[in-house]
Amino acid sequence: MENKPLKTTIIMRKYSPFELLWIPLILAFFVLTGCTKEPPPDDTGSEPMSVASCEGCHINYAHLQAVYTPDTGVPPGGCGGTAPHYEPYDRVYMGGEGYAKYKTSPHYQIGCTGCHNGVDNTDDKTVAHSGDFIRHPSVFSEEKCGACHKEIVDNFMTSLHHGTGQMRKVALRSGLSGADEFYLLPEHQKEGYNANCATCHGSCGECHIIRPTMGGGGLSNGHAFNKTPDMISVCVTCHVSRGGHAYLGVASGTQPDAHLTEAGYKCIDCHKTSDLHGNGEPVDQRYAYANLPTCGDCHKNIGGFNIYHSTHLNDFNCQVCHSQVYNNCGSCHIHGDGARIPSYMDFKIARNPIPEIKTGFDFTLVRRTLAAPDNWSVYGVPNYPDFAVLPTYNYTSPHNILTWTDRTLVPEGKSCYYNCHIRNEEGVLVNKEYYLFKEDLLAWEVDATEKITVDGKLPESWFR
């Protein structure tokens, strides 16, 4: 369990339109160049501390360089590409303002071995890291965090950031009943989950102390505990290919979400503690949380706002009209070839895959998932026993909202539905590409996904 990674929480300051133009370039710079840096100056004013202690070793940059162990594992990778590289001594160096902040916190009073176990007051690295030493204490959050943060820890164990949603899908397709039986899977498959899926889903520390594994790992700010992690370096690091990609308007031809550019919203302005830490109630997937934000929380009387809303209020989720194209990929061969359907921008309307959770919508946007029958073949599972139990497209609500989109902005003199309803123009079905038909599915997707396609569910007049 010690190496099981983690994720979650969120924050972000307000970014000006000028700054937003630089965000994709900054992210690209770090990915391409790596992140090794000179340590910040130790401005705490303290006397040099002996390296014969945990703290003394980890605030002495030169000593860390002299005794570090080179990396032997494969760098993490995922939808956002390979993680930026930090040298091992940079990842564990405590210094600068973050270290000064840490020394004034209640966590500092616990002491290094209070969380990490191991042996203090020795200059022998092997001895210090011996016995019951824990690299990432929050993996054992019930023991290490629960004494002070019991409610958060208890709630988190059933949260989606802990991974219960992903575990559920793996378990269901494996012929089990759900997340509660995930641990009955073969050991090789659980090994694959920990080595791949868990690089984002993990424990408290990856949001509040270290960089997420997908961001290079290591202390993010001199071991300071960050109550409200930065949106870009934490949230977007894990939600890079879908959430951040859309919200920041990274893809060519797309714009940042209006909630960012017009309102300056941070993630936590909408996503509160209950959806980040969990609320203690096990949920099957992220849309099942009772207190998830909705458009109506801020936009009152949506149905009466205009004729378009009143007409389609019980037909679509809001994103059908107000989303831009969004990122998709699929068919992931875990720890093998990666996503064999490479990333592409798309926009698909399908039948609501989760009507029991998202009520009131007949049609909704969907996004292709990474699911494939042979997801775990590298880990000794040639094919899922029950792959068709779930569709290969998920209900989605892209975070790339605009008032005027390719659907809502129609040519002068044309009807409001000109850019979204299918119409037959001399044998050519215009706008058909926006809808998910059976013919859009690959052969191995049909059994799983045909039930949410729009075949036979749209007005016949559209095709005449």
pLDDT-derived band at 46, boundaries 50, 70, 90: low
Please tell me the pTM assigned to this model: 0.83
Check whether 266 has a pLDDT greater than 60.
yes
Backbone angles phi, psi at 346, to 5 degrees: -155, 175
Check whether 142 has a pLDDT greater than 70.
yes
Contact present, 317 and 361 (Cβ < 8 Å): yes
* pLDDT digits 0-9 by tens, 60-112: 999 999 999 999 877 777 677 788 899 999 999 999 999 999 999 999 999 99
Can you state the percent helix, strand and coil of the chain, rounding each to 5? 40, 10, 55
Closest CA to 285 of 406, 200, 159: 159
Average pLDDT over residues 236-255: 93
Contact present, 308 and 416 (Cβ < 8 Å): yes
Backbone angles phi, psi at 350, to 5 degrees: -140, 175
Check whether 10 has a pLDDT greater than 50.
no
Check whether 448 has a pLDDT greater than 80.
yes
Q: What pLDDT is attached to residue 143?
A: 94
Q: What pLDDT is attached to residue 397?
A: 95
* pLDDT digits 0-9 by tens, 163-207: 888 889 999 999 999 888 988 999 888 888 877 777 677 789 989
Q: What pLDDT is attached to residue 144?
A: 95
- In sequence order, what are the beta bridge partners of 338? 333
- Please state, rounded to an integer, the average pLDDT across all residues of the chain: 86
Check whether 209 has a pLDDT greater than 50.
yes
Q: What pLDDT is attached to residue 18?
A: 37
Q: What pLDDT is attached to residue 65?
A: 97
The span from the CA of 237 to the CA of 233, in Å, is 6
Average pLDDT over residues 297-323: 84
Q: What pLDDT is attached to residue 169?
A: 92
Residue 384's identity, in one-letter code, is Y
Q: Which of 6-15, 161-170, 302-311, 366-375 shows the lowest per-residue confidence on average (mean pLDDT)?
A: 6-15
Site of tokens 């979204």 = 420
Check whether 355 has a pLDDT greater than 70.
yes
**Strand 338-346 vs strand 348-351: parallel, antiparallel, or unpaired?**
unpaired
Q: What pLDDT is attached to residue 47?
A: 65
The span from the CA of 101 to the CA of 91, in Å, is 18
* pLDDT digits 0-9 by tens, 20-45: 444 444 444 444 444 444 554 554 45
Average pLDDT over residues 205-215: 90
- Enter the tokens of residue 204: 């408290």
pLDDT-derived band at 19, boundaries 50, 70, 90: very low
Average pLDDT over residues 127-142: 94
Average pLDDT over residues 298-327: 85
* pLDDT digits 0-9 by tens, 275-289: 888 888 888 888 888
297 or 347: which carries more pLDDT confidence?
Answer: 347
Q: What pLDDT is attached to residue 278?
A: 86
The 3-state secondary structure of the chain reads CCCCCCCCCCCCCCCCHHHHHHHHHHHHHHHHHCCCCCCCCCCCCCCCCCCCCHHHHHCCHHHHHHHCCCCCCCCCCCCCCCCCCCCHHHHCCCCHHHHHHHHCCHHHHHCHHHHHCCCCCCCCHHHHCCCCCCCCHHHHHHHHCCCCCHHHHHHHCCCCCCCHHHHHHHHHHCCCCCHHHHHHCCHHHHHHHHHCHHHCCCCCHHHHCECCHHHCCCECCCCCCCCCCCHHHHHHHHCHHHHHHHHCCCCCCCCCCHHHHCCCCCHHHHCCHHHHCCCCCCCCCHHHCCCCCCHHHCCCCHHHCCHHHHHHCCCECCHHHHECCEEEEEEEECCCCEEEEEEEEECEEEECCCCCCCCCCCEEEEEECCCCCCCCHHHCCCCCCCHHHCCCEEECCCCCECCCCCCCCCCCCCCCCCCCCCEEECCEEECHHHECCHHHCCHHHHHHHHHHCCCCCCCHHHHC
Contact present, 168 and 285 (Cβ < 8 Å): yes
